[in-house]
Amino acid sequence: MTENWSDSDPGVMSFPSGALVRGRGLRNPLPPGPTPTFALYLLGKQPPTTEWEARWLPWPDFWLPKDRRQARLAFEEALTRAAGERVEVACEGGRGRTGTALACMAVLDGVPADEAVAFVRRHYHPRAVETPWQRRYVRNFAADS
């Protein structure tokens, strides 16, 4: 089993289940400390190659994932892997797409959909989930199965 993040590491958010996921903006330098073992990159174009396993979810800046089914599967995988691995979720700035993904993962982890944005803003970043359509996507995420 891999040593996990600490909830005091930069950008690391704790879910109700105890799973820890690091959110970050790729335009910022890699934080000090251990590197991810798995990452989910939310970008409009393919991300650069990393030394760790990574999955790319096509997602234009300020918008929504191109494929909602693929997004749900990616969020489920990231949350499942976070139980025993160092999982990172990231976009360019680390707020809009990253916050939206973390909020959807919170819904999967049992946070009510209408409380998920507030949960992520409280535990990850106060300006996470930037646009009205991202907030609506999170609110409707549970119903979009």
Q: Where are the domains of the chain?
A: 12-144
Look at residue 56 in the predicted model and tell me its pLDDT: 97
Q: Distance (Å, rounded) from C-alpha 105 to C-alpha 111?
A: 9
Look at residue 1 in the predicted model and tell me its pLDDT: 47
For the chain, which ranges sit under pLDDT 50?
A: 1
Alpha helices by DSSP H, listed for the chain, are 68-82, 96-108, 116-123, 132-141
Look at residue 143 in the predicted model and tell me its pLDDT: 81
Q: Distance (Å, rounded) from C-alpha 13 to C-alpha 63?
A: 23
Look at residue 2 in the predicted model and tell me its pLDDT: 58
- State which H helix or E strand residue 58 sits in: strand 53-58
Q: Average per-residue pLDDT in the chain?
A: 94
Look at residue 48 in the predicted model and tell me its pLDDT: 87
Q: Distance (Å, rounded) from C-alpha 62 to C-alpha 18?
A: 29
Residue 114 · residue 139 · CB < 8 Å: yes
Alpha helices by DSSP H, listed for 28-94, are 68-82
Residue 124 · residue 23 · CB < 8 Å: yes
CATH architecture under which domain 12-144 falls: Alpha-Beta Complex (3.90)
